[in-house]
Amino acid sequence: MNVKFFTRILRGLPLLALVVLTTGCGTISTMGKLEDGAAGEAGRMWDRWIEGNGDIAVATTWERKVKDGVTINDIEQALTQIAAERNMKGVGDLPLSKELEARTGKPQKFLKVYSFCTPATARMMVDFSPHMAAYLPCRITVVEKEDGLWMYTLNMDMMVKMGRKLPSPLKEEAWKVRETIWDMMERGSKGEF
């Protein structure tokens, strides 16, 4: 028997019972409109939320430890290369550590946000759900910590696996964006370009 599976179910029962009791038929109706596997993704997010001591950012993001020896330049080259391979546009970056150095006159740990977008997919997604505009553009952040460099991004599985069923061709295009960001995290953290 899978103890983790049963533990997850038991932990989720009070919340599920509360949701069903307070929303009734609306919950049942909504559950029928969700992507297949949405409950499994919600369970994974729940587990990460618990493991993160209630930190919602832990539950809703992906992270990768950058391999020792991989430089910022290596990461940037990997991100640029993958974006070009997948027809995703680099739409800017935010060099926060450089800005903080300029403001304080003191050296800072590296912190930079890289932004990417596939404009046609973004338009389709916002037409489907205007609230998705808050997640645009896709971002990957490189953070220097005591133990080295880390990469963080939004958990793209929330977008493609957990919400309302995406119509075709939006579903296929959203999946391509998800796969691109996943690849950027994987290859970027290894400096593979």
| pTM attached to this predicted model | 0.83
Least confident stretch, 19-28, 157-166, 169-178: 19-28
Q: What gap in Å lies between CA 149 and CA 146, rounded to an integer?
A: 8
Q: What gap in Å lies between CA 6 and CA 113, rounded to an integer?
A: 38
Rg of the chain over CA atoms, in angstroms? Answer: 19
What DSSP string describes 163-192? SBPPPTTHHHHHHHHHHHHHHHHHHHHHT-
Chain segment 5-56, per-residue pLDDT in tens: 555 555 555 655 555 555 556 666 667 777 788 888 888 999 999 999 999 9
Query: What residues pair up with 61 in beta bridges, in sequence order?
Result: 154
Domain boundaries along the sequence of the chain:
3-59, 62-190
- Mean model confidence pLDDT for the chain: 89
Strand-by-strand arrangement of the 89-94 sheet: 61-65, 148-154, 138-145, 111-117, 89-94
CATH 3.30.310.70 fits 62-190, yes or no: yes
Least confident stretch, 12-21, 52-61, 77-86, 113-122: 12-21
Q: What gap in Å lies between CA 80 and CA 93, rounded to an integer?
A: 12
HSE, side-chain direction, 13 A CA sphere, residue 113: 11
